[in-house]
Amino acid sequence: MYRLYDYLPSGNSYKPRLLLSLLGIEYERIDVNIMKGETRTPEFLAKNPNGRIPALELEDGEFLWESNAILYFLASTGTPYLPAEPRLAANVMQWMFFEQYSHEPFIAVARFILMHTDENHPRRAELKDKMKGGYAALDVMEKHLHNRDYFVGDHVSIADIALYAYTHVADQGGFDLAPYPAVRSWLARVSDRPGHILITDH
């Protein structure tokens, strides 16, 4: 059985948790509190030398980390969440790299700052740039989704799971999704799937 090292409020942790639920795969969840430094202990660094959650322990005791690589692994054994056709699979990769480079560092980090600092904290100074970058990412998503149901092809994929994780809680980062009707419709389509769980669930 897989063992997932995970912190419930983290959208990056939510990604594999959501896909495991959608796929109906049982797993053991180990809570790792990033706010208490539990990803920086020697024990955890032996699991992920980069000191981040999520990390997936496989049945032979080896570890896989990086949320989108875990999604890729779980989806790549004949599930509908990763297209077999190389070009469609590359499109899925494109949107997952977009998520980690142009979306998460803004929308997730803005949410983190608002959740974990008070109004006078120096990190609040980062919010202006985070807003700008986050809205730029939402603009790209809205434009792409205006005539599409999902990011790649006509089926939900791990690109949707990866982008859903922090977009659906973007309001907690101070983002207003009202001007993004295509994004809001897509969020509803993703969350309507059988097996869907909330970010607070497992």
Instruction: Give contact residues for its own copies (rule: CB under 8 A).
Output: 49-50, 58, 64-70, 72-73, 76-77, 86-87, 89-91, 93-94, 96-98, 100-102, 104-105, 140, 143-144
Q: Identify which of 9, 3, 1 has the alpha carbon closest to the alpha carbon of residue 198.
A: 9
Minimum gap (Å) between residue 21 Cβ and its own copies: 19
User: Looking up tokens 């994780």, which residue turns up?
Assistant: 165
**Cβ closer to its own copies: 73 or 164?**
73
Smallest gap from Cβ 187 to its own copies, in A, equals: 19
Residues in the chain, how many? Answer: 202
Q: What share of the chain is helix, strand, coil (3-state, %, to 5)?
A: 55, 10, 35
State in angstroms the smallest separation of the CB of 192 from its own copies.
26
Min separation Cβ 91 and its own copies, Å: 7
Q: State the nearest-atom distance from the C-beta of 96 to its own copies, in Å.
A: 8
Q: Which is nearer to its own copies, 97 or 191 (CB)?
A: 97
CA–CA separation, 88 vs 94, rounded Å? 10
Kindly write down the DSSP assignment for every residue of 64-77, as one continuous string: EESHHHHHHHHHTT
Pick 106 or 175: Cβ nearer its own copies: 106
Residue nearer to its own copies on the CB measure, 35 or 58: 58
C-alpha distances in Å from residue 47, one per residue of 42, 57, 62, 66, 110: 9, 8, 8, 12, 28
In 3-state terms, what secondary structure has residue 28? Answer: strand
Nearer to its own copies (CB atom), residue 100 or residue 117:
100
